[in-house]
Amino acid sequence: MAEVVSLQDGIRHLLKDGDSVALEGFTHLIPMAAGHEIIRQRKRDLTLIRLTPDLISDQLIGMGCVSKLVFSWGGNPGVGSLHRFRDAVEHSWPQPLVIDEHSHAGLTNRYVAGASGLPFAVMRGYRGTGLDEFSTTVAPIICPFTGEELRAVAAVNPDLSVIHAQRADRKGNVQLWGITGIQKEAVLAGRKSLVTVEEIVDELDPRHGDVILPSWLVTAVAMVPGGSRPSYAAGYYQRDNDFYVAWDSISRDRDTFLAWIDENVL
Amino acid sequence: MESSETYTSDEMMSIAAARQLRNNQICFIGIGLPSKAANLARRLHAPDLIMIYESGTIGAKPTRLPLSIGDGELGETADAIVSVPEIFNYLLQPGRIDIGFLGAAQIDKFANLNSTVIGDYRKPSVRLPGAGGAPEIAGASKRVIVMLRQSTKSFVEKLPFITSLGFGTGPHDRKKYGLTGSGPVMVITDLGLLEPDPNTKELVLTHLHPNIEVEKVIESTGWTLKVADELRITELPSKAELEAIRSLVSAGS
């Protein structure tokens, strides 16, 4: 059963230096506060796994927490580049960043394989692209029934998967709704999981299109109101699009970035 | 339909792209230029265009132009929200998408797309965001429409990296690589429209936007551009089209 913990204790006890950690949330419900706690605890040498590395990934990379990034789209949606990510790839600042790069479909299927307890997933993709050539976690596979050449993508099983959800009850059952992305698969693929929630309630009443993660599938739950800002939590608060635009200039320069982190995170 | 109003080249590009979409088509939308054009089409001749965004929203009807593919309004106005595995495995991969609508940083003469790096992959001079949903959208959609601004930086002889396959090196590569969709049918730029030659699959300039000289398009292309024998002129933006595009308000602005 999921244990209800503080965010501080959750990160301290569930994540150690050198671990692989998935932070998932597809534009919606991004676990920003958990990412900030990882920065505050100065975790090092992490493998960060995330379909859409955005601001939180930029911050973790810029603060030197991440030595390897597994991802499929690294940008500031609708705005442009992730400057800390680019600085790490292009200039090894603040340290070199190893990348394991996929398409969304590919990394999605890696989570599906991880969640399914299989060593790989099968898909039709990658062939003829540069990703096929450079990735070590994609390989050809022949369908035993039709002979079609397909691609196998290696399962991903993060040491810790972190997501943000709207609510949990006191037993640690978790409920999320709206755009729920890859979060269920990320939690199921994780060896451990930490869910931050907007609130903990006595009873979870049904919501349209909700996803329920039963308490026994989750390692720990921490209540962190606003834990997704400047991303959003449907039913609680909206996406702060202005901040996503502002991040472009905050993150462009190393010193401006460090000053922002110092003032807003540390 | 003709209009004497002035318009920007970006407006012309979005309007030309919107005109390619039909009502009730199922359209997988990339963010940026394609999202703007698709939402414009919904306000004009295709109110029932079914827009699919990779975040999992199906049939979203946003009143504002979304900043990202997962904006709250996309979820709130969707017919359904599904998980990301469902979007890619159940909807895209089996060939249920009519039009894949993509942007890119660079394109070559066979409509292969790069959105990954400029320079060497392991030591890039510019690291771009990467693939996202594009490779499989390009592979499995029944047809693909591409939008990007035309210059010698974006229309290049050789891509440093193929993120999404158009026609590879010619007419046989899609079959060779087992891609199920028929590939790009049109590339829409700020200068005109390009379409693949039915036999060679090399892009050919088929339309010039109004007041654009063919020399300008040739100069803005990094390979020796083929021009159709019967080069046509894109219809001028109508008053209704210009009004619609100017009423599109972006989220976050």
Residues of chain B contacting A239 with CB distance shorter than 8 Å = 67-68, 71-72, 251
Query: Residues of chain A whose pLDDT is less than 70?
Result: none
Domain boundary residue, one of A154, A174, A192: A154
B247 and B199 housed in the same domain: no
Q: Identify whether A25 is part of a domain.
A: yes
* CA-based end-to-end distance of chain A: 32
Name the residue among A27, A103, A184 with its Cβ closest to that of B135: A103
Does residue A87 sit in the same domain as residue A215? yes
The residue segments making up the domain with residue A29 are: 3-102+157-242
Check whether residue B92 and residue B106 sit in a common domain. Answer: no
One-character DSSP codes across A246-260 = HHHHHHHSHHHHHHH
Do B84 and B130 fall into the same domain?
no
Residue among B55, B84, B121 minimizing CB distance to A134: B121
pTM: 0.96
* Residue B4: per-residue pLDDT: 59
The first and second tokens of residue A90, run together, are: 């292009």
Q: Which residue has the tokens 């940026």?
A: B32
Please tell me whether residues B214 and B110 are part of one structural domain: yes
**pLDDT score recorded for residue B253:** 44
- Helix intervals (H) in B141-188: 173-176
CATH code for the domain of B22: 3.40.1080.10
- Dump pLDDT digits (tens) for A3-27: 999 999 999 999 999 999 999 999 9
> What sign has the CA pseudo-torsion B132, B133, B138, B143?
negative
Please tell me whether residues A56 and A187 are part of one structural domain.
yes
Residue A249 lies in a domain: no
pLDDT of residue B252: 52
pLDDT in tens, B156-174: 999 999 999 999 999 999 9
- Same-domain check for residues B90 and B130: no
- Clarify whether residues B133 and B218 are in a common domain: yes
Q: Do both A77 and A163 map to the same domain?
A: yes
What domain range includes position B72? 1-97+237-253
Residue A253, domain member (yes or no): no
Together in a domain, A75 and A138: no
**Amino acid letter for position B64:** R
Asked if the Cβ–Cβ distance from B135 to A126 is below 8 Å, we say yes
Q: Which residues on chain B are in Cβ contact (under 8 Å) with A209?
A: 80-81
Instruction: Confirm whether A16 is domain-assigned.
Output: yes
Residues B206, B166, single domain; the answer is yes
ipTM here: 0.95
Residues B114 and B197 in one domain: yes
Low-confidence ranges of chain B (pLDDT < 50): 1, 253
Residue B1's pLDDT is 47
User: Which residues 191-210 on chain A approach chain B with CB closer than 8 angstroms?
Assistant: 209
What is the SS3 assignment for A152? strand
List Cα–Cα distances, B156 to A81, B107, B130, B161, in angstroms: 21, 6, 18, 11
Question: Looking at the structure, do residues A128 and A84 belong to the same domain, yes or no?
Answer: no
CATH number, domain of A201, equals 3.40.1080.10
pLDDT for B203 = 98
Quick one: pLDDT at residue B238?
96
What SS3 class is residue B239? helix
Are residues A71 and A44 both part of a single domain?
yes
How many structural domains are present in chain B? 2
Residues A57 and A84 in one domain: yes
